[in-house]
Amino acid sequence: MRVLGIDPGLAIVGFGLVDFSRGAPVHVRHGVIRTAAGEPLPRRLLTVYEDFTELLEAFKPDALAVEQLFFQKNVNTALPVAHSRGVILMAAQRHGLSVGEYSPQQVKSAVTGYGAADKTQMMEMTRALLKLKAHPKPDDAADALAVAICHCYAGRILP
């Protein structure tokens, strides 16, 4: 099973692609989609949609795993991220993908075994589980790989 994990954002959308076979995730690719800060929101959302669609068509994942938004005090930040996340979910549906949505605590539990793990623990376990020589960069892509790993293990360890 090929899983595309997404760490949603507007300025930066992290993505991480893993293949899951024989009970272990295997790293395929990771990176980010960037949008220009000075562009109007509709143009930035179109960039997210077009670049995300290119990923779907190039790598043909079987499933999409997306981190849920957590409550943010700053509505000016939360709403654009929610718009971007919506574009991603719509594109996934247009491509017939099953979608798993996970809270940050679920991702941390799946990757480290501890729902309140810190960033350092997450980075190290993501690196170790994927047998990478170094921590994946940038952080948004590392987070997306963790979301993909969570989806791989979700049926066994998450409620």
Whether 51 is catalytic = no
Whether 67 is catalytic = yes
Q: Is 22 exposed, middle or buried (0-12, 13-18, 19+ CB in 10 A)?
A: exposed
Q: Of the residues 124, 139, 140, 143, which is catalytic?
A: 140
To 10 degrees, the CA torsion angle through 115, 9, 17, 24? Answer: 0
SS (H, E, C) 19-31: EEECCEEEEEEEE
What is residue 157's predicted lDDT score, i.e. its pLDDT?
Answer: 45
Whether 62 is catalytic = no
The predicted-structure confidence for 101-126, as pLDDT tens digits, reads as follows: 999 999 999 999 999 999 999 999 99
- Which element (helix H / strand E) includes 48? helix 41-59
Dist. CA 138–CA 136, nearest whole Å = 6
